């Protein structure tokens, strides 16, 4: 079974949290380009040092998906440490948006024509704004992630496994855009 890097239900002290945290720290460091040399990527505008992440509006039937995605984005930014995550009043920039899609579709079937594998797809639309000027670093940018799981998998995959993989992909793309690409 694949261990999620950014578990949606990650809470310190939960069973298995330490391996998840260690993996997350390593992946975030690699994604941010810090390696051995630095604690941050150094690509962020010098004037932007603090970011607020608003809870994402959830337009899907999945309960708590907006809150979970927001929490995972906040955690990834904290681990990356290029921008300090703060409340909105103290921030230089704001990430806001909504979860616009959650789908589960069959991707394979057995010889008896019963579905045995599904794909979860999650999409969010985000805006990254400079608080002082209202300038949009990116506006209504769509991020999509997918993850698969197998029914009756002996390795224990589930819809949550697919959902976590989709969220991991989204968070990697957000982190790359927010702290590296501009």
Model confidence over 114-170: pLDDT tens digits?
A: 788 999 999 999 999 999 999 999 999 999 999 999 887 778 789 999 999 999 999
Work out the pLDDT band at 172, boundaries 50, 70, 90.
very high
Which tokens hold the place of 56? 């994402």
Which domains, and CATH codes, for the chain? 17-179 (3.30.160.150)
Report yes or no on whether pTM surpasses 0.85: no
Is the pLDDT at 14 greater than 70? The verdict is no
Average pLDDT over residues 87-98: 97
What is the residue-wise DSSP string for 35-99?
TTT-SS---S-TT--EEEEPPPEE-SSSTTHHHHHHHHHHHHHHHH-SSEE--GGG-SEEEEEEE
């Amino acid at each position: 079974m694949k261990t999620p890097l950014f578990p949606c239900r990650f809470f310190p002290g939960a069973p298995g949290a330490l391996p998840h945290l260690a993996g997350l720290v390593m992946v975030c460091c690699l994604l941010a380009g810090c390696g051995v040399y630095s604690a941050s990527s150094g690509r962020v505008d010098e004037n932007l040092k603090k970011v607020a992440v608003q809870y994402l509006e959830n337009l899907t039937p999945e309960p708590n998906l907006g809150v979970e995605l927001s929490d995972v984005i906040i955690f990834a930014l904290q681990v990356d440490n290029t921008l300090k995550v703060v409340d909105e009043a103290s921030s230089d920039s704001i990430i806001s948006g909504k979860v616009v899609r959650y789908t589960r579709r069959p991707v394979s079937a057995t010889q008896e024509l019963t579905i045995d594998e599904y794909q979860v797809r999650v999409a969010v639309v985000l805006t990254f704004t400079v608080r002082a000027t209202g300038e949009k670093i990116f506006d209504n940018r769509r991020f999509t992630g997918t993850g698969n799981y197998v029914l009756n998998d002996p390795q224990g995959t589930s819809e949550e496994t697919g959902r976590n993989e989709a969220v991991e992909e989204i968070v990697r793309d957000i982190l790359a855009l927010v702290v590296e690409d501009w």
